[in-house]
Chains A and B, each alone.
Chain A
Amino acid sequence: MIKHFLNFEWKQFFRSSYWQKSIALNILMGFLALYFMLTFLVLGISIYPILKKQFPESDPLIMVNGFLFYWFLGDLVMRFFMQKLPVLNIKPLLILPLKRSSILNYVLGKSAISFFNFLPLFAIIPFGVILIFEDYSTTTALIWMLLMYIFTLIINFLNFIIEAKSAETELSFLPIIAIASGLFALNHFEIISISTALGNAVNTIISNPLLIIIPILVLVGLYAINYLELKKKLYVDGSLKAKADVATTTDLAWTRRFGDIAPFLQLDLKLLWRNKRPRSSLFIVVIGLLYGLIFYPNPTYQNIPAMFVFVGIFVTGIFMINFGQFIPAWDSGYYKLLMSQNIKYKQYLNSKYSLMTISAVIMFVLSIPYVYFGWKILAIHFAAMVYNIGVNSHVLLYGGSFNRKKIDLTQRAAFNYQGTGAVQWIIGFPLLLIPILFFYVPYKFINFEAGIITLIILGGIGIVFHQKLMNFITKQYLNSKHKMISAFDQNN
């Protein structure tokens, strides 16, 4: 049975058009994976000698155990954003002569062999081996390694429970942020010293190997919770089927003043509001707006305005990036209609551009209160807005012409938690990082104002040449039109 499942997985992966178009991205992902593996390897090898040298009188193992809390917390948050729940199109399997339990065990078991569970091993094993070569007993080292791996799996399954719960409640990533920052705060302000407690627990288990049964039981328990949760959802009238919402009709008459792009603008606004996936990008806006509060009050960043450029681009562009990344995949479900209806491609793209521009202006206006932290911040936000409108929006639209991944808007969140993998995050980096460079170079060699002006000029150039750029982008879309249609027709 497992053999068939694995075979399906393999085929689904290699036969999707996504794989075929994005070899370059896959290579990039490969390098990134390699980079992380090396980083963990170096960490695993070097941490013992470093700790020994810095704190000669402490036991490195006990010190490492004291820091495990932060590792686990970071791991949990990272997984939430990067790791997808194992998605298998379960519906066709339901009526086949398969035991439900084997479908479930497969889905859950598959998650255990994820890259995220292998990565920590690159640090755990070298450290453990070094322990053996130092004066620790072999049992201690082996138990420690085993324990770390059990913890990794615990985090793996814990993450799925959190993901499932947040998807059900439509709160997107608010719960994970709340949990993580709550735990961190409790620990940081020493209300409950979780890191010490966890360190002590690990130390106790190492000295009494039999106690390892406790984390194993926790792991089994989490697996069982996942199993039961999924089992409830394995019915076509359960979460595999969409509930019918009561439709609300809205007029959105005010969009009329945008002229011939008005119908598309209305369509996009309805798209955002009436579908779960895009709606979450509206909630992200709130998070993005508050993002500045992490940096601006903090004195350590006061003399690094380049950091503020990052925040400025992020705050004014968060909606743009979130929404823009998936152009035109948002419309993938009815792309054939758009392509055969009385629509000029340019109009369609212009509507998306307008939406992104409007969002950047609104975000800038909403971020004006940050002027409390100094006029420079307002200037940076303004420059970032202009840059976003002039440069990033066009880059996003251009990037969209390479989009071959369908978004199924009707899909409920049940087996489709994040829908995006690390790829989307990687695409986001240049949008956020390149403007920092454009700011930093003139700032370093001339002054702050020069950096701001550079960003504004670059954005201004983009705005001035908007028509020309749009013609070019439209051409790209026209060239890849047929490829997009056929990719959006595929189900995976």
Chain B
Amino acid sequence: MIKSTELSKKYGNVTVLNIPTLEIPKGQSFGLVGNNGAGKTTYFNLLLDLIKPTTGNVLNNEIQVNKSEDWKPFTAAFIDESFLIGYLTPEEYFYFIGELRGMNKADIDTFLSQFKEIFNDEIIGKKKYLRDLSKGNQKKAGIVAALIGNPEVVILDEPFANLDPTTQIRLKKLLKELTVKNKTTLLVSSHDLGHVTEVCERIVVLDKGVIVKDLETSEETLKELEAYFSV
């Protein structure tokens, strides 16, 4: 589904990402881990054509992302709060995204009803603008918005950060269902090795922009990752 070749990003003389080849098949749940500065967000930004690659390219379903905009209809992402429109209420925001993805209000209302648990009555119908919600609730709204319209590719940067424990557990369940039921290609990054091994079938470890491990998740993966990171 997503194929990057000879992908690199340099700022001046510093290479922040260098991936000779990486292919993520359709329906895979793909986890990206690495310490700060490893290049996780850079990679996601490149997938979304938010920054320009220094060399190489990214194909999303055979569409080169910096040549054509045709990947946008089936791709959704939540990278950070700058994906939220602060002066809208969460409902308006969901309707707006829904409209961009060809769903009307009724569709969105039905869609939102399945997130009632996650929202925990703190998001819908609260007469608050997104900018006035807490960080955690903003994140919930952003993640849910990224799932609107059954996109084939969903990219979430650090989805578990800032969330309360209950929501973390619910979100893990939700993400697992997503790949199983809808055949969604899911890309997440996380600093929590436990969460990421639980959700993802495949885990790639980045270090200073280079892939150092590419693991099929198994019983031992968590231990292996913990061993790798405890230096």
Query: Which A residues fall within an 8 A CB radius of B?
Result: 242, 244-249, 262-263, 266-267, 270-271, 274-275, 333-337, 339-345, 409-410, 481-482, 485-486, 489
Contact = CB atoms under 8 A, between A and B. Distances in A.
Contacts, number: 88
A337 B84 contact: yes
Contacts of A343: 72, 100
Nearest to A343: B100
A334 B128 contact: no
B48 A340 contact: yes
Q: Which 9 A-B pairs have the closest CB atoms?
A: A244-B132, A337-B83, A274-B87, A340-B48, A263-B99, A247-B127, A342-B72, A247-B89, A342-B100
Given A270-B88, A342-B101, 16 more contacts: A245-B132, A247-B128, A247-B129, A263-B99, A263-B100, A267-B96, A270-B92, A333-B82, A336-B83, A340-B48, A340-B50, A342-B73, A345-B69, A410-B131, A482-B51, A485-B50
Given A263-B96, A274-B87, A336 B72 contact: no
B29 interface: no
A427 to B, nearest CB: 25
A246 B127 CA distance: 6
Contacts of A334: 82-86
A266 B88 CA distance: 11
B51 A336 contact: no
B19 interface: no
B100 A336 contact: no
Contacts of A485: 50-51
Given A263-B99, A340-B49, A249 B73 contact: no
Given A242-B131, A336-B79, A271 B72 contact: no
Contacts of A345: 69
A164 B124 CA distance: 36
B178 to A, nearest CB: 19
A151 to B, nearest CB: 42
B87 A275 contact: yes
B152 interface: no
Interface in B83-126: 83-89, 91-92, 96-97, 99-101, 126
A141 B126 CA distance: 67
Contacts of B132: 242, 244-245
Contacts of B195: none
A337 B82 contact: yes
Nearest to B77: A340
Looking at A275, A343, A485, which has the most chain B CB atoms within 10 Å of its CB? A485
B75 interface: yes
A336 B89 contact: no
B172 interface: no
B77 A344 contact: no
A406 B229 CA distance: 38
B208 interface: no
B191 interface: no
Contacts of B92: 249, 270
Nearest to B47: A340
A409 B72 contact: no
A263 B93 CA distance: 11
Given A341-B97, A343-B100, A335 B77 contact: no
B50 A270 contact: no
Contacts of A267: 85, 88, 96
Contact of B72 (A249, A333, A340, A481): A340
Nearest to A267: B96
A246 B126 CA distance: 9
A333 B86 contact: yes
A242 B83 CA distance: 20
A248 B87 CA distance: 10
A124 to B, nearest CB: 47
Nearest to A481: B49
B26 interface: no
B83 A339 contact: no
B3 interface: no
A325 to B, nearest CB: 20
B112 to A, nearest CB: 15
A15 B86 CA distance: 27
B176 interface: no
B131 A335 contact: no
A274 B79 CA distance: 25
A271 B87 contact: yes
B183 interface: no
A335 B51 CA distance: 13
Contacts of B48: 336, 339-340
B86 A409 contact: yes
A337 B85 contact: yes
A343 B77 CA distance: 14
Interface string B55-73: 0000000000000010011
Contacts of A263: 96, 99-100
Contacts of A340: 48-50, 72, 75, 77, 83
Interface string B132-161: 100000000000000001000000000000
6 contacts: A263-B100, A274-B87, A334-B86, A340-B50, A344-B69, A482-B50
Given A342-B73, A343-B100, A274 B129 contact: yes
Contacts of B131: 242, 410
A8 B75 CA distance: 41
A337 B100 CA distance: 12
Given A336-B79, A342-B72, A342-B101, A245 B86 contact: no
